[in-house]
């Protein structure tokens, strides 16, 4: 319950941030950190808690983004409806990928490469069909109103994203404290042993990929409404998949607050880099790579593990090992 209280207090504090922050630049930075935390937490459900490393989470993100954009631009359907539809269709794509891999026992590098392939196939398809705007992209008409999920001020976008991100973090807290979460982590640690104890690995992993796909799709929906433009390289590009996995790895795999720490670290680093050397192509990715190497070398449990070490907190798993010893 301590983690839950901390989570609620943190998001409550964040909710009042726009009252004190009036700079559009700072609000945009906070929004992008939250957006990255949502992406990272979505990946963390499957990769951190489930041990299924995906290299193609852009497949879910892009599906959500294009769903809300296409429904709005091509069919005139309200984006609030598109938000729900985007999350559901992203889950459908996740279900297809999950069934195609988990049913036949594919995992590890096979699963990673298959998710990467699916994202690339969807990128090629979206680059070919006319209703997505193909290579030209899809521009969403600006029509600011709450009913149209378009806002004049960044604070409203922030509160919308904060609500979605809070639900994602609340879901991960539930996973960490539920029977389902215990089963998911058992499958991650030793699938054969979990099966011997009566856990159905296929069912557990399918549930995890559905939740992961849902929140990735919702992140895509928000991105489309915030930037009002999509093209295949944005929606299904490798940069989305890289950010999705990099954030929780840097922050701490299989932890509640790890994706938030990772998002803060990566976007702060990105802004500092931009202010020092400008918009040099690839500079941020180089620094991301350096940060990842440093984290793996000196803090394998990510920034969460480093913070726990500095504060003298011992992870529950380590305490259990010490007690058994």
pLDDT in tens, 4-63: 999 999 999 999 999 999 889 899 999 999 999 999 999 999 999 999 999 999 999 999
Alpha helices in 58-177 (DSSP H): 58-74, 79-102, 109-126, 154-176
Average pLDDT over residues 304-319: 65
* Spatial distance between the Cα atoms of 82 and 257, rounded to a whole number of angstroms: 29
Q: What is the pLDDT of residue 280?
A: 66
The alpha carbon of residue 106 and the mean position of all alpha carbons in its chain are separated, in whole angstroms, by: 23
Q: Model confidence at 150, in pLDDT bands (50, 70, 90)?
A: very high
HSE at residue 234, side-chain half, CA atoms within 13 A, is: 21
Residue 323 has pLDDT above 50, yes or no: no
Would you place residue 290 in the very low, low, confident or very high pLDDT band (cuts 50, 70, 90)? confident
Q: What dihedral angle (degrees, nearest 10) is formed by the CA atoms of 7, 253, 236, 142?
A: 20
* Residue located via tokens 């940069």: 239
Domain ranges of the chain: 2-247
For residue 111, CA distances in Å to 100, 103, 115 come to: 10, 12, 6
Phi, psi of 284 (to 5 degrees): -65, -40
324 vs 99, more confident: 99
pLDDT given at position 324: 43
pLDDT, tens digit (0-9, with 9 covering 90-100), for 210-226: 999 999 999 999 999 99
Six token digits for residue 81: 């409806």
Identify the bridge partners of residue 208 per DSSP, sorted by sequence position. Answer: none
CATH class as words, domain 2-247 = mainly alpha
Checking if the pLDDT of 136 tops 90, the result is: no
Spatial separation of the C-alpha atoms in residues 306 and 186, rounded to whole Å: 24
Express each pLDDT in 232-262 by its tens digit.
999 999 889 999 999 999 999 999 999 999 9
pLDDT band at 317 (very low <50, low <70, confident <90, very high): very low
The H or E element containing residue 315 is none
Of 88-92, 148-152, 241-245, 264-268, the range with the highest mean pLDDT is 88-92
Q: So what's the pLDDT on residue 279?
A: 65
Contact assessment for residue 229 and residue 138, using Cβ atoms and an 8 Å cutoff: yes
Higher pLDDT, 87 or 130: 87
Measured CA to CA, the distance from residue 149 to residue 320 in angstroms comes to: 48
Confidence label for 113 from pLDDT (cuts 50, 70 and 90): very high
**Cβ within 8 Å of residue 131, ≥6 positions away:** 70, 74
Predicted confidence band of residue 281 (pLDDT cuts 50, 70, 90): low
| 121-131 mean pLDDT | 91
- Could you tell me which residue, 284 or 322, shows the higher pLDDT? 284
């Amino acid at each position: 319950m301590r983690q839950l209280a901390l989570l609620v207090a943190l998001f409550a504090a964040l909710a009042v941030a726009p009252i004190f922050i009036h700079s559009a630049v700072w609000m945009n930075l906070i929004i992008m950190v939250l957006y990255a935390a949502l992406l990272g937490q979505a990946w963390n459900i499957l990769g951190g808690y489930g041990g299924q490393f995906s290299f193609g989470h852009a497949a879910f993100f892009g599906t959500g983004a294009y769903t809300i954009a296409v429904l709005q631009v091509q069919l005139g359907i309200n984006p609030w409806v598109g938000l729900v539809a985007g999350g559901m269709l992203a889950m459908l794509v996740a279900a297809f990928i999950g069934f195609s891999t988990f049913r036949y026992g594919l995992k590890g590098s096979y699963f990673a490469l298959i998710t990467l392939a699916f994202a690339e196939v969807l990128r090629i398809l979206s680059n070919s069909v006319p209703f997505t705007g193909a290579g030209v992209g899809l521009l969403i008409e600006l029509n600011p109103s709450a009913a149209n999920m378009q806002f004049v001020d960044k604070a409203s976008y922030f509160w919308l994203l904060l609500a979605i991100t809070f639900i994602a973090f609340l879901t991960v807290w539930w996973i960490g404290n539920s029977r389902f979460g215990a089963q998911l982590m058992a499958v991650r640690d030793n699938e054969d042993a979990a099966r011997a104890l009566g856990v159905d690995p296929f069912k557990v992993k399918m549930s995890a990929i559905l939740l992961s796909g849902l929140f990735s799709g919702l992140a895509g929906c928000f991105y489309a409404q915030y930037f009002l433009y999509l093209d295949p390289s944005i929606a299904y590009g490798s940069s989305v998949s890289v950010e999705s996995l990099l954030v929780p790895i840097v922050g701490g795999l299989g932890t509640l607050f790890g994706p938030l720490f990772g998002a803060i670290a990566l976007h702060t680093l990105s802004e500092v880099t931009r202010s020092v050397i400008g918009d040099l192509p690839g500079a941020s990715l180089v620094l991301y790579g350096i940060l990842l190497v440093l984290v793996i070398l000196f803090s394998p449990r990510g920034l969460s593990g480093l913070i726990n070490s500095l504060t003298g907190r011992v992870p529950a798993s380590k305490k259990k090992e010490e007690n058994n010893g």
